């Protein structure tokens, strides 16, 4: 058991038995495990996921001021539709557009950033998506495994992990920070949250940085939701032990 797991396990055990362990947890220090740019990714993804249109404008302002480009924020919002649905995606896109226009009108020209790259014609998108997912899961995967709804496997590989993940603009760690933040904020998706925490760690996001994500979640969404995220992280660390 590493130091991060020991700390989180002790923290959660203390909270579950009603002591002051969770109250004593230094959420502010945990948040510092993320860079300002990573904190902005986590915050905008979380607020977009729960559809908090009141807090989103300030979050996008902060994200742009932290160094995120307009196209990076567009990419975060676009990717989240695969996890939260088009209504939340389109609402967040509308807020982002409004913020960019307001800043431009005020004389602030934000950096546009890199543009997404198209997948070359003739590419087998299923196999491309499978290879990308193998990087994220750090394991070899079978092609077209039998699943209850066969289309879910096809859509995940061809669309999410090919069409979306192959666009560039964001790195894999940045995409996984956004995904973990969105899933943690949503709640009640523990299997998917744990899977993406594991994927994030496979591409270089550390356990302390996952703690940082949950600290951002506490501020943006609420303490109970953040604690659930710490439970998911502890479960992943226990499985990896």
CATH of the domain at 57: 1.20.1290.10
In this structure, is residue 137 part of a structural domain? no
Look up the domain containing 68 and give its range.
3-12+23-116+168-240
In this structure, is residue 129 part of a structural domain? no
Cα atoms found within 13 Å of the Cα of residue 163, Cβ hemisphere only = 11
pTM: 0.89
Domain count of the fold of the chain = 1
In this structure, is residue 185 part of a structural domain? yes
pLDDT tens digits along 171-217: 999 999 999 999 999 999 999 999 999 999 999 999 999 999 999 99
In this structure, is residue 173 part of a structural domain? yes
In this structure, is residue 141 part of a structural domain? no
pLDDT tens digits along 122-164: 999 999 999 999 999 999 999 999 999 999 999 999 999 999 9
In this structure, is residue 135 part of a structural domain? no
The tokens 């130091």 sit on which residue?
A: 3
In this structure, is residue 142 part of a structural domain? no
In this structure, is residue 7 part of a structural domain? yes
* pLDDT at 14 > cutoff 60: no
């Amino acid at each position: 058991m590493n130091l991060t797991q020991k700390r989180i396990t002790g923290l959660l055990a203390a909270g579950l038995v009603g002591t002051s362990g969770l109250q004593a947890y230094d959420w502010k220090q945990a948040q510092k495990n993320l860079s300002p740019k990573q904190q902005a990714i986590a915050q905008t993804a979380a607020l977009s996921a729960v559809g908090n249109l009141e807090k989103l404008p300030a979050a996008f302002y902060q994200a742009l001021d932290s160094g995120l480009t307009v196209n990076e924020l567009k990419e975060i919002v676009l990717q989240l539709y695969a996890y939260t649905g088009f209504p939340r995606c389109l609402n967040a896109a509308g807020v982002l557009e409004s913020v960019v226009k307001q800043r431009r009108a005020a004389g602030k020209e934000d950096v546009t950033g890199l543009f997404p790259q198209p997948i070359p014609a003739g590419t087998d998108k299923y196999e491309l998506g499978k290879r990308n997912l193998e990087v994220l899961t750090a394991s070899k995967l079978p092609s077209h495994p039998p699943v209850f709804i066969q289309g879910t496997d096809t859509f995940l590989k061809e669309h999410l992990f090919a069409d979306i993940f192959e666009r560039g603009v964001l790195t894999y760690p940045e995409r996984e920070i956004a995904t973990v933040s969105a899933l943690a904020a949503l709640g009640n998706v523990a299997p998917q949250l744990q899977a993406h925490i594991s994927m994030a760690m496979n591409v270089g996001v550390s356990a302390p940085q996952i703690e940082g994500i949950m600290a951002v979640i506490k501020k943006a969404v609420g303490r109970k939701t953040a604690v659930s995220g710490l439970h998911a992280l502890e479960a992943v660390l226990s499985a990896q032990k």
